[in-house]
Structure 1
Amino acid sequence: MERLDIVFPCLNEAAALPRVLDRLPPHSHAIVVDNGSTDGSAAVAAATGATVVTETRRGFGAAAHAGLLAATAPLVAFCDADASLDPAELDGFRRLVEDGEADLVLGARRPGRGAWPLHARAANAILARRIRRATGYPVTDLGPLRLARREDLLALALTDRRSGYPLEMVLAASRAGWTVAERPVAYAPRVGRSKVTGTVRGTVTAVRDMSRLLRAHA
């Protein structure tokens, strides 16, 4: 079983972190990237033994990429730090990559009651349809839970530092000829308020970022 580093972009997730970091799969290590928290998230993460990285540039992509650069394990995964996703599910993702069945594994969220606002779910469905047309990948969700090999991810040379980072990864994987697999994952109500899809404004900003990337890919 190969070692796995799990990157958790983090902005004020002190209440959720203990629950999240208690669910790591075997042979894995957490890298919590503090993106300007004011609630002591970094201290909470450090107390669990996680590696804490500080990224002063605000943005999901900035935090996610800082975690990737800090990773040393052969495999790297990304997971939200808000307790909406279970990092233990990454063990199944790891097996797909280790067995050569996929280069990148994405989690397709299966939401529980109250876990996914209607406006965010509708925007995600439209985005997934556009990704299918652009790449040929039969994806149904651009979910944040994902896993691939570290060296392969670095070779993609991703540049987006905002909410378009997850989409840029999939589009770059398509151009590189990667095999992408999707697996269903449970999606629970997050602890606290989402910084992106929890608000209409955040969702609109994400859609704009991703539309720009799709146009460039086309």
Structure 2
Amino acid sequence: MNCPSPGAPQGVDVPGRVTPTIDVVLPCLDEAEGLSWLLPRLPAGARAIVVDNGSTDRSVHVARAHDALVVVESVRGFGAACDAGLRAASADVVAFCDADASLDPADLPAVVDPVVRGEADLVLGRRLPSEGAWPWHLRFANRELARRARRRTGLDVHDLGPMRAARRGALLGLDLADRRSGYPLEMLVAAADAGWRVQEVDVPYRPRLGRSKVTGTPLGAWRAVRDMSRVLAS
């Protein structure tokens, strides 16, 4: 059994091993329904950081009812919410996950474990969609962006999905600047440029609860692709 380094915080349940506690950043804009399903499913030892990005529903109430740390980010944008959650985190390892119940937090140990073991610096969850989980136009856009990311970085990645994990200090050192939908891709590009070891692991992907505020409309999807294209062009 691998043992943690001296003084490492204890926490997340990974069979046969004691691993550092993790903070899980959950960007949130009107995701009360998703949070109600998701938060009780966090692995033991994982703390939820719900970053409220202007919700008008009961998202904040649900988050607090499940003992999540709530961070308010007034600047709208996925990247702005992720950055606020990262800076509010205190655990050695930080994971990111959507708050819409499309990804099961019970799968987080598979994403976190390679980082904890020192086998990878950044782990991405490669989404395996169930029926109805991923509209064809979004899947096509993701496939094309992943192809361009492979060409730009030289990394063998196939998905730019939101479930991912890395060490907090290293992530802060990347000094990511995008505050919109390009944030996940900027993280990957910056990690590649810094020589990080990047892995993908498969995670199930299910239909989200509620409508996406980023890609739920053709205009939103176009803006997300535009933001990521700007990252690749920079």
The TM-score with structure 1 as length reference comes to 0.97
Partner residue in 2 for 1:119: 137
Other-structure match for 1:148? 166
Q: CA deviation at 1:26?
A: 2.2
3-state SS of the aligned residue for 1:16? helix
Runs of 4+ that moved beyond 3 A: none
Q: Is the 8 A contact 2:126 2:200 kept in 1?
A: yes
Measured after TM superposition, the shift of residue 198 of structure 1 is 2.2
- Residue of structure 1 equivalent to 2:15: none
1:197: how far off? Answer: 2.0
Matched residue of 1:163: which SS?
Answer: coil
- 1:79-121 per-position Cα deviation (integer Å, ceiling 9, x unaligned): 0000000112111222101211110000111111111111100
User: Deviation at 1:69?
Assistant: 0.4
Q: Which runs of 5+ in 1 are unaligned?
A: none
Three-state SS of the structure 2 residue aligned to 1:106 is strand
Which residue is 2:37 aligned to? 19
Q: What does residue 88 of structure 1 align with?
A: 106
Within 2, Cα distance between the matches of 1:45 and 1:80?
Answer: 14
Asked if structure 1 preserves the Cα contact closer than 8 Å seen for 2:79 and 2:182, the reply is: yes
Between the two structures, name the one with larger relative contact order (CA 8 Å, sep ≥ 6): 1
8 Å contact 1:144–1:166 — kept in the other structure? yes
The answer to whether the 8 Å contact 2:21/2:45 transfers is yes
The answer to whether the aligner puts 1:180 opposite 2:202 as a matched pair is: no
- For residues 140-160 of structure 1, the C-alpha deviation after alignment (integer angstroms, 9 at most, x for no partner) is 100000000000000000010
Q: How many residues align?
A: 216
Q: Which amino acid aligns with 1:27?
A: G
Pairing 1:36–2:54 present: yes
Tell me which amino acid in the other structure corresponds to 2:211: R
- Return the alpha-carbon distance in structure 2 between the equivalents of residues 142 and 198 of structure 1: 17
CA contact (8 A) 1:78 1:145 kept: yes
**In structure 2, what residue type is equivalent to 1:46?**
R
2:77 paired residue among 39, 53, 59: 59
| Pair 1:203-2:192 in alignment | no
Structure 2: runs of 5+ lacking an equivalent: 1-18
Pairing partner for 1:5 from 23, 34, 53: 23
Whole-angstrom distance in 2 between the partners of 1:183 and 1:87? 14
Greater shift, 190-199 or 65-74, is seen at 190-199
Q: Which is higher, the Rg of structure 1 or of structure 2?
A: 2
Matched, 1:97 2:115: yes
2:33 counterpart SS class: coil
CA contact (8 A) 1:120 1:198 kept: no
Taking the aligned partners of 1:206 and 1:107, their CA distance within structure 2 comes to: 19
Q: What secondary structure is seen at the aligned counterpart in 1 of 2:199?
A: strand
Helix, strand or coil for the counterpart of 2:115? helix
Is the Cα contact below 8 Å between 1:117 and 1:198 reproduced in 2? no
Amino acid across the alignment from 1:189: P
Q: Which amino acid aligns with 2:105?
A: P
TM-score, normalised via structure 2 length? 0.91
Matches of 1:30 and 1:169, distance apart in 2 = 21
Letter in 1 for 2:167: R
CA–CA separation in structure 2 for the residues paired with 1:98 and 1:144: 19
